[in-house]
Each structure stands twice: as structure tokens, then as C-alpha cells.
Structure 1
Amino acid sequence: MLWIESGHNTCPKTGQTLVNTNLVSNRALKSLIAMWCRERRIPFGAAESSEGQNGVALNKAAFEATKMTVSFLLDKLGSDSQAVDMVNRVIYELRVFAKTDSDSRACIGEAGAIPLLVRYLGLDHPKLQVNAVTTILNLSILEANKARIMETDGALNGVIEVLRSGVTWEAKANAAATMYSLCAVSAYRKRLGKKTRVIKGLLELAREGPTSSKRDALVAILTLAGDRETAGRLVEGAVLDMLKEVMVELPEEAMTIMETIVKKGGFVAIAAASHMIGRLVAVLRSGTDRTKESAIATLVIICRKGGAEMVAELARITTIEMIIWELMGTGTARAKRKAASLMRILRRWAAGLEGDVLEEFSMTMALQ
């Protein structure tokens, strides 16, 4: 670097003129050196800042260095004689590499890392389990690695098992995040939605985990709920009861999922949501703009799909018209439209025209 900065444009070793003077940090080689030093307890300087990594593909030399480093790490990981602490350090290095960029993720996946990582998902070593499942999460960002995870024997089941019974909340949360990542592929979303253990694991994490873990679970649940069959399975798994429990802590996430479940889950979801009408009206009174929007949209769906019985349940709340009028004046654009729709439903029901509610439903839903 000092050679270049002093104005030279030739190689200090060969004297040949350099094509360009841009320097590319060989982070792969540096990581390899750092690991070698740690093994021998030799002090090594702190890793450089990752600033400047802007997603540009590594040049050929750097990519070859990455492949060499990955090969070295996987050779160590594949050895049965390694101590647990050494295995943990190796997997941590893979975790860092997998987070770097798509080239690194492709290199690790193509080198066969996923079957090796699966071995360590079930261990009761907290750091090792977290590093293993987080490496798989980072790898899953790449489309090709999604397929590898779904097709590798034991990989998907291993991640699901971490979701259900991981040693730490962090491990469970990253397993949930992996489910979310895999759901980006429609076929995988349907496949995951058919697995009872996935649904139960996510619901349990959303109920019992710390806030950050709950959020990871809720994001995965929302993605799964986009499939109609899975939405029905979520209802059977008592997703609405779970949402009622987390509504105070994470109201926006809970209301968004409730709207999706009621919209996609059919009459089973409507029946299950009927006991939530009072809670939804409470959100209309004191929620945020976003939660009010989801709440009013959910009430419209409940009343249209549920018919006169659901409308009558809503009409028993004495202040409902005043609340709707207020939302028509102060809500978001979408909330205003939904509030106007709900007001029409209530007026027609009051006039004895509730039959028109169901007749109007299919046409209105088609316009949404």
C-alpha cells in the first residue's frame, strides 16, 4: 500500500507495470491466517472493518482465495478428530463467510458444507448450535442454497428440530428466520406449511420467546399464512389465540397476521375470529394508524363472510358507528375506504338488507 501511495505504478517484486493500482483486500486469506494464529495462540490484529464491501463481486484472485479458505475449513469440519471448541471456531468462520456476499454463499454451498453443518444442529452446545443454524440461515439467502437445504437429508428436519427444542432463544429465532427465507420459494412455502412441527414450533416461539424471537416467528407465520391451506392449518393450531396474547407487545405484527388469516383461512377462520370482534374495536379506538387499518379491514372481512350474525355482534357495541365515522375522517386512505364499507354493511343490516352483504362480497373482494 505504501509503495502504491508513494506514486509507483509497477510491481515492487517484478518491476512490471501494473494494469491498475486498485487494491482488493484478501479477506479470505486474512481469515485463514487468523485461524492459524488462534490455533497456535499467536496474537493477531483485530479484523478490519467491513466498510467498503458494497456487494461488488470479488475479483478472480480473491474468489480463488475464498474457495481455498472454504476448502480448508470444510476439511477441518469433516475430520472426526476435532475437538468441539475447534469445530465451533470453524463453523463460526463459515458463518462469517456466508454473511459476506453471494459469491461466498455459492462457494460454501457448492463445496458441500450443508451436510457437514447438519451434524451439529442437534448438539447441546449452545454456541455451536447457534453458529451452525445461523450459517445455514445465511446460506439460505442464495436461491441455489435454498434447494440444497430442502434436498439435503436431515437439513430441513434439523432446522425444524432447532426451532422446536433449540438450546437458546437465539438458535430458535434463527431457525424461524431460516423458515422465512425458505418460504420465498412458493413450492417450499407449501411444503413447510404442511409440516405440523413447523407450525407448532413457530406458534410456540411467538408465544414464549423474547420480543426479538417473537418477531422472527411472526414474520415466518405471516409468510406461511399467504397460502390458503396453510392459513387453515394455522387456525387449527390456535394462531388467533396466540395473536391475542402477543397483541399488546407486538400489535402491528399481530394485526397484520390476523387480517391475512381471516382473509385466507375461510369460514373456519371467520368462526374462530368471531370472539375477537371486541378486541378489534378496541384497536380502532386506541391503536396506531397501521393497526387501525388492519383492524377495520379484518372487521369488513368478518362481517362480509360471516353474514348477519357477525354484523349483529358488531352492532351490539354501542359506540361502533361513532368510531367508524372518526376513522372515515382521520384514518389512512385504505382505512377510510374500509370504514366506509363497514358503515354500509351496518346500515344495510339495520335496514334488514343483510342478504346484500353476502351477494356483494365476491365482487368487492375481487376489486381489492
Structure 2
Amino acid sequence: MIFSWRQKRANRRNGGGKNGNSDGGIDLELSIPTHFRCPVSLDIMKDPVTLSTGITYDRDSIEKWIEAGNQTCPVTNQVLRSFDLIPNHSIRKMIQDWCVEKRPYGVERIPTPRIPITPYEVTEISKKLEAAAERKDGKKCQELVGKIKDLARESERNKKCIVENGIGFVIASSFESFAADSVEKNEEVLKDLLSALTWVNPLGIEGQSKIGSSTSLFCIALFLNGEDLSSRQHSVTVLRELLSHSSDKKFADGLMEIDSVFESLFKIVKVPICPAATKASLMVIYHMLQSRRSEKLALKLVELGMVDLILEMLVEGEKSTSEKALGVLESICNWKVGREKACENALTMPILVKKILRVSELATEFAVSTLWKLCKEVDDESPVIEALQVGAFQKLLVVLQVGCGEMTKEKITELLKLMNLFRSRLDCFDSSSMGFKYIQRPY
């Protein structure tokens, strides 16, 4: 079988070749032995492994085949008695030798693959980490966490195996244990554990209970309010994962008990560490605003200037950031003080109308809902008139035409009826145009 592996080699002695090759080189084709190829991908195997049927595949290809739910050997179609993948060292050595032999043709030697971590090894590391946490042995705990990180960095396969075998709960439990002992004394090990918690998600219910305990949340709040930028970023990332993956509002309620969290989250948005931290902070704020005690947070955010800050972000904000910022603004407008503050800012209506149908479906829902709250819940007709002046009426008609969710459709219908009462007062509208009867139904 011929493999399209070509390389132009300089022919220095004949100065461009006698056969008219103007670039001074010749085309070479390499014939790769068929048994060096993976039967699935048809590429040279980098990590050959053998199934119980005796057929050898590249590890990455056959793992994807099995993970897709297939229970047969792709070549023989036999039902697999075992899903064990046995490394084929002989084939790997032959492939490596062949690569070395063909090096003059531009073939690079395939490196010897690292042996993937097994669930048993993850369990053993977990036991050692639990024991170190019980002894409050910070040095040993840091060593084990470092080992876990190194193994995860080796491959996505290792990372997946580590996460799926419960390491998240052990790390969360260790974090709570060291935080309960002394945050000041165990600061370094707590930072290492916090860093690991950013990628071992989901933690599961038990892991969430550990990292969401009052002890753990207070420790995270201290790091969130500290000077170490990495720890602040890790803290807000862990909080985002905790609140995003839990349907229980008690964790958000627990954060509400820590006053310093409000200023810390606002600071990350106002003085960004990085885009990821800004988005994580907006997500944490959004989830906290959905809690049973959200009025306290809304009042504090308005006092800090969050409404004006969000509107400034939305002017040039990229898609993901805009979506989250609109969600926070919509939630703040659940409260009178938030609506009043939004109405005071001249950017509010133009930005809300501009973002409709410009970011995402969810962002459109947030923008429409905010518009609805400002026009319906404020005891003043100025928001309605201002919305009309910046083209909200036409934009909302387009949303109906394109299609949207039932709740959004109901709010748009109410807004259009309300705005229609004021249209005749404005010179910017022609009474003979843009009537409802010229709009096609969205079905």
C-alpha cells in the first residue's frame, strides 16, 4: 500500500535535476507496511494495543469505538469477551525502527507512549490522599496532588480516568479538612487543592457538600479576597462549578452569609484577571441572584455600581461575556432599585435593543425580559418612549417573525401592545407603515 508521504529532496549534484524539476528536488513516495496501520483510522499506530480477538488497533481509535457503545471487534465482528487493551510492544518497536530507518525521508520517530493510568491506581492515590489529610500532612498532600496533576496533563484519557474514579470528592474532603484545621497554617496546601478542584468536576453530591460547607466557603472567600491572582481565579472557578452543577440553592444561600464575597466578585468583573475569571464571576453572581435571599445581593451590587459596569461591558463585549452580563442585568432588574438604576443610564435602552438577535437566543430572552421589566414595572412612561425611539418596536416584531419561546413571546406581545399606545406621539413612526397586519405569522 502506498502512503502519500512526500518530501522533496535537494539534488545538489545535478543542480535541479536532468528531468526538468525546476525546484531542484524529486518526489518520493513511501510504502508503509499494512500491519503498521490501524484498521480503523488507517493511520500509523502510535500506541498499538491488542483486543481479546487478537486484532491490533491504535489505542485512541479503538477506545473511541468502544466508548461509542460498540461491543464487537471492528475487523472480525466478534463480540468482545473483554474490553482489556493489551499493549503490543512488538508492533510498536517495529514501527519505531521503521520510522528511524525512514528518517532521511522526513519520517519522525513515534515516541514510546506512556502507560495510561488505571482506576486501581487512582483509587490507591485517593486512599493515600485521604490518609495524608487525616494526619494533616500538608507536604505529603501537596506531593500527591502534584502527582495527580502531572498524570492528568499526560493525556485526556488519564484526566478522564482520574475524574471518573472519585478523586474530586477526596480533594474536596481534604480541602474542607485543612480549612477546618487552620487556613493560615495550611495556606499552600489549600491553594494546591483549590487549583485541582477547578478541573475534577463534576464533584457529585457528596463532593459538593464538602466544598459547599460553611468552612470551605469561608476559606474560598478568603482566597477570593486575597492578593494572589491565581488563587482568586481558582476560587471563582470552583464557585461557578459548585453553583452551576447543583440544583440546591443552599450553597448560594451560604455564600450570602459572607459579606466580603460581594465586593470580591464585583472586583473581578471591574478589574479583570482574565476573560475566564470575568465570565466565572458573572456566572456566580447570576446563580446567587436566583437564591431565596437575592435581594441583599441585588441592593449591594447596585450600590457598588454593577448596573453601570455591565452596560459598559455590553458596549463591546464578546458573545459569551455579553450573554452572562445580560443575565445578571435581567436578574438585578427583579428589584425596584435595580430597575430605577437601569432607567437612569442612557445606555440601557439602546444596548438592550441592539443585543436582541445579535448575541444568542438566550441573550435575546434576557434582553427582552429586561426590557419588559423596565417598561411594565416602572411607574413612568419614559422607558416605553425611549425604547420606541431606539427601534424596539421593529426589533420585537422581527423576534416574533423569527420565532422564540412561549414566555418570551408573551412578553413581546405585552410590550408591543404597550408601545402601540405611544406610537402616535412619536414623529419617528409613520402611522401608515409597520402595522401588525403586514407582519406574517411565525407559523
Q: Structure 2 length normalisation: TM-score?
A: 0.56
Residue 339 of structure 1 pairs with residue 402 of structure 2: no
Aligned to 2:294: 230
Residue 180 of structure 1 pairs with residue 240 of structure 2: yes
Higher-Rg structure is 2
Question: Gaps spanning 5+ residues in structure 1: where?
Answer: 8-19, 26-44, 353-368
Question: Gaps spanning 5+ residues in structure 2: where?
Answer: 1-48, 56-80, 87-111, 153-158, 426-443
Aligned to 2:309: 242
How far did residue 306 of structure 1 move?
0.9
What is the percentage of aligned positions where both structures have the same residue? 11
**Equivalent of 1:210, from 252, 274, 279?**
274
CA contact (8 A) 1:205 1:217 kept: yes
Secondary structure (helix, strand or coil) at the match of 2:228 reads coil
What code does the residue aligned with 1:92 have? G
Secondary structure (helix, strand or coil) at the match of 1:332 reads coil
How far did residue 270 of structure 1 move?
1.4
Aligned to 1:266: 335
What code does the residue aligned with 1:260 have? S
The alpha-carbon distance between structure 1 residues 228 and 305, as it changes in their structure 2 partners (threshold 3 A), is farther
Q: Take 1:146 and 1:318, find their aligned partners in 2: how far apart are those partners?
A: 46
In terms of mean alpha carbon deviation, does 173-182 or 131-140 score higher? 131-140
Q: Take 2:221 and 2:202, find their aligned partners in 1: how far apart are those partners?
A: 14
Q: Take 1:319 and 1:2, find their aligned partners in 2: how far apart are those partners?
A: 65
Q: Take 2:418 and 2:281, find their aligned partners in 1: how far apart are those partners?
A: 35
Q: Take 2:357 and 2:131, find their aligned partners in 1: how far apart are those partners?
A: 61
CA contact (8 A) 1:121 1:159 kept: no
> Aligned-pair RMSD on alpha carbons?
4.1
**Equivalent of 1:146, from 201, 204, 208?**
208
Secondary structure (helix, strand or coil) at the match of 1:323 reads helix
Q: Structure 1 length normalisation: TM-score?
A: 0.65
The alpha-carbon distance between structure 1 residues 119 and 277, as it changes in their structure 2 partners (threshold 3 A), is farther
How far did residue 176 of structure 1 move?
1.4
How far did residue 107 of structure 1 move?
5.1
CA contact (8 A) 2:183 2:219 kept: yes
How far did residue 130 of structure 1 move?
5.1
The alpha-carbon distance between structure 1 residues 227 and 130, as it changes in their structure 2 partners (threshold 3 A), is same
CA contact (8 A) 1:123 1:129 kept: no
What code does the residue aligned with 1:214 have? T
Aligned to 2:368: 296
**Equivalent of 1:314, from 382, 386, 397?**
386
CA contact (8 A) 1:199 1:234 kept: no
Q: Deviations over 1:244-303 (max 9, x none)?
A: 2332322112112222332xx321221122122232133248555543332122111111
Q: Deviations over 1:93-141 (max 9, x none)?
A: 356589522533445566x563237779769999x66532133453772
Q: Take 2:299 and 2:257, find their aligned partners in 1: how far apart are those partners?
A: 13
The alpha-carbon distance between structure 1 residues 304 and 4, as it changes in their structure 2 partners (threshold 3 A), is closer
The alpha-carbon distance between structure 1 residues 286 and 90, as it changes in their structure 2 partners (threshold 3 A), is closer
Secondary structure (helix, strand or coil) at the match of 1:165 reads coil
CA contact (8 A) 1:121 1:162 kept: no
What code does the residue aligned with 1:220 have? V
Aligned to 2:224: 163
What code does the residue aligned with 2:176 have? I
The alpha-carbon distance between structure 1 residues 156 and 236, as it changes in their structure 2 partners (threshold 3 A), is closer
Aligned to 2:26: none
Q: Take 1:244 and 1:317, find their aligned partners in 2: how far apart are those partners?
A: 19
**Equivalent of 1:257, from 306, 322, 328?**
328
What code does the residue aligned with 1:305 have? E
What code does the residue aligned with 1:227 have? S
Any residues of structure 2 matched to 1:87-166 within 5 Å, and which? 88-94=142-148, 100-101=163-164, 103-106=166-169, 112=174, 114-116=176-178, 131-137=192-198, 138=200, 141-151=203-213, 154-165=215-226
Q: Take 1:226 and 1:331, find their aligned partners in 2: how far apart are those partners?
A: 27
Q: Take 2:138 and 2:313, find their aligned partners in 1: how far apart are those partners?
A: 43
Q: Take 1:297 and 1:322, find their aligned partners in 2: how far apart are those partners?
A: 16
What code does the residue aligned with 1:197 have? S
Count of aligned pairs between the two proteins: 302
The alpha-carbon distance between structure 1 residues 47 and 206, as it changes in their structure 2 partners (threshold 3 A), is farther
How far did residue 318 of structure 1 move?
5.7
Any residues of structure 2 matched to 1:44-123 within 5 Å, and which? 47-49=114-116, 62=120, 66-75=122-131, 88-94=142-148, 100-101=163-164, 103-106=166-169, 112=174, 114-116=176-178
Aligned to 1:328: 400
The alpha-carbon distance between structure 1 residues 119 and 175, as it changes in their structure 2 partners (threshold 3 A), is farther
